[in-house]
Each structure stands twice: as structure tokens, then as C-alpha cells.
Structure 1
Amino acid sequence: MNLVLASASPFRSALLNNAGLEFEAVAAKIDERAVEQPLLEAGLPPADIAEVLAIAKAEDVSARNTGALVIGSDQVLSLDGEILHKVADMEGARRRLLQLSAKTHHLDSAIALVRDGEVLWSHVERAALTMRSLSPEFVGRHLAEAGDTILSSVGAYQIEGVGIQLFEKIDGDLFTIMGLPLLPLLAELRRQAALEG
């Protein structure tokens, strides 16, 4: 069965590669903010918004890949009920880390499976991450060490690297934090007979 990941994210591709899956990565061509705006206006919670975006990405790629089983995914970061988006530059990263300092934020990571436009399954996992109190001086040193790869992360950190030093407590698994709840996905792929076992 042809498996397609509806994402250009190297992190999501690495997770699937490391799990031994054979797949093709195809970026979805949707305007995420345009999809998200009416959902925000309707007052939907972050988990629902992440799920709708994951489905929209999978549906978009499914329309161009007949017969393929398409994996869509999305992640939403929220702080005190407000949804935050990726920052544009290192100054934005500095402000983001200081904004998250000494607070707990949430990551809602959604996945969906779509074949020929039909949503077969979707799932959302949530992680709660508490940052320790960060001084502006530490944040500056941290960003210099981490480099601009952190700009690919909505939180302006990567916990699989030096970003782990920012945190005091984490409730949730690494795959959810990285944006692809892998264990539920693998279980569903086995159920769909897309994986043996």
C-alpha cells in the first residue's frame, strides 16, 4: 500500500523513517491561517483546530495521490488559552522563550489518515510543558547555541537537543511534542493493514 506523509517537515519524516516505514513525503498546499481563522472565531479549542488542520492537509494531498493512504498532521501551541504561531526570526524566538518562561504551555498534536478524500481516522494527543524561569541573558546564550533551526518549531525550542535545558517539567511523550503521536499512528496503520504485525 502506498503511504504518503502530507508534510515537508524533516522531523516528521525522520520519525517515520526511524520507525521503519516506507513512505513518500508530499507537502500540503493549504493556507493554514485561512483554515484556522473561522475555527478561532467559533471558539474551538486548540485540540479541535489541530485535528481540522491535520485532516485538511491529508485531504489536500489525497486529492493528488489516488489510492494512497495519506497521513496528515498538525500541532497547535497554546498558552493561557491563546494559540501561538511560529516566529519569523531570532528576535521573535527570544521574545517567545521569555513569554513561555516560568509558565506551562500545551502542545496539541493531531494526526489523520485519509484515502481518496475519505477520512478513515483521526486522533489528538496533548502534552503540557512547564518552562523554568529563564533570564534574558540565559535565553541569549541558549539561542546562540541552538541556532536558527529552532525557527522551525512553534515554541522556538527543540527538546531533542539543548532545548531540554529550558524545562522544569514535561507531561506527554516525545512524539507528541515533536508533532507526530507515533504510537497511536502505528497501531492504526496495523489496523488498516498498512503495516504488518
Structure 2
Amino acid sequence: MTMPEAPPLVLASASPTRGQLLAAAGVPFSTVVSAVDEDEIKHSMRAAGADSATTADALAEAKAMRVSRKVPGALVIGADQILDCAGVWFDKPPDLDHARAHLVALRGREHRLATAVCVVRDGQRLWHHREAPRLTMRAFSDAFLDAYIALEGRAMLVSVGGYRLEGPGVQLFSTIAGDHSAILGLPLLPLLEFLRGHGVVER
């Protein structure tokens, strides 16, 4: 599936889910964590009036650019995602109390996942893509919420909003509209098309 003379591919993300998506697709890659200050970028973008999609795009590019300086010649994938509910942005909850508060705030409401991915080589952005899946949480009971938190525990802290669609978190929702891989944080099909066009995987 991979071209013999393909340039190295690097994922600038510590997200295990993004790595699992690429690995499951049969794409060989290495991982280098970018360590950019995401909070600072978000704060400056919001202060400038940027929306969540533009900010996710800026974060994805910042991650890829940072790693690109360390791996000359490699194609570096940067990705980011912001949960946006009526203009309020949600980060990963730092603890279970915050995770519960996030789910209470999202209960019975629609939110979108502003998701961006880009590819950089030698400090130049070659490609980028955005998607914004929309998800509506059902009006679940407090009893269901308590049971869900007891079941998931600290696994809730690895994603924005405090849920994992690949686990019991799918039961929180009434409707989901959007590509599954984009919801998980990496729009895989458009990324694979880019990689095919640049000789990384077979056409």
C-alpha cells in the first residue's frame, strides 16, 4: 500500500485515536509531539474574533509547523478539534467534576466539532482541510449520567466534551451528522486522497 520511495510521514499529535485511525488504514508513520501552547493560540485567536473552525485550522498548522522544523523532508500531519456549542468552546475536562459539568451543559443541545487537518513539509503548508460534524445530545436523565460517569471514569478526560463515540458515549446522542473519522479528530478520507496524490500510498 505504501510507495517504496515515499517521503517519511509524521503525525504531530499525541492523540492515540488519531494514531489508531492512520494505523488501521495501513499508513506507516511516526509520531512527534508538537508541544505548542494551545491555550495561548486559542486565546489570541478569540481575541482577534476568529471562529472555532479558523482557530482549529490555526492550531493544526502550528503543530505541524513546529514538528516540521525537526524532520526535514518529511510530510507532517497536524490536526486539531474544537467543540463549539452556540459559540462556547469546550476543552478536554481536567477532572470528572468538569466532565460532568460539560455533559450537563451539552445535554439536549446541538454542538459541532470544528475539525482541521493540514500537511506541512519543510515549513510550507501543502494542504489543509476542515470539517464540522454536528451532534445532538439527547435529554438523558441524571441517573443515566451518573451511571455513564461511573462506567467511563477517567476515560472521559481524553476528549473534548467528556465523551467517546467509540465507547459508551454514543448512548449520549440522539443524532449525529458527519464523517466518523472527522468526529474522532482526523478527517481520514480527504487526508488519504492527499497522501495518494503525493506518492505516500498507492493509488
Match of 2:126 among 120, 128, 132: 120
Counterpart secondary structure, 1:70: strand
Does residue 92 in structure 1 map to residue 98 in structure 2? yes
Verify the 8 A CA contact 1:98 1:134 in the aligned structure 2: no
* Residues 176-187 of structure 1: pairs in structure 2 closer than 5 A: 176-187=182-193
Counterpart secondary structure, 1:112: strand
The residue that corresponds to 1:8 in the other structure is: 14
Q: Which amino acid aligns with 1:48?
A: T
Shift of 1:149: 1.1
Shift of 1:85: 1.1
Shift of 1:147: 2.3
Query: Is there any run of 5+ residues in structure 1 with no aligned partner, and where?
Result: none
The residue that corresponds to 2:4 in the other structure is: none
Does residue 40 in structure 1 map to residue 46 in structure 2? yes
Match of 2:85 among 45, 54, 79: 79
Q: Which amino acid aligns with 1:178?
A: L
* Residues 1-197 of structure 1: pairs in structure 2 closer than 5 A: 1-197=7-203
Q: Which amino acid aligns with 1:125?
A: E
Q: How many residues align?
A: 197
Instruction: Calculate percent identity across the aligned residue pairs.
Output: 45
For the aligned residue pairs, the C-alpha RMSD in angstroms reads 0.8
How far apart in 2 are the matches of 1:84 and 1:164?
Answer: 18
How far apart in 1 are the matches of 2:59 and 2:85?
Answer: 19
Query: Is there any run of 5+ residues in structure 2 with no aligned partner, and where?
Result: 1-6
Counterpart secondary structure, 1:130: strand
Shift of 1:192: 1.6
Shift of 1:134: 2.0
Counterpart secondary structure, 1:155: helix
Shift of 1:138: 1.3
How far apart in 1 are the matches of 2:27 and 2:185?
Answer: 17
Which structure 1 residue ranges, 4+ long, deviate > 3 Å from structure 2?
none
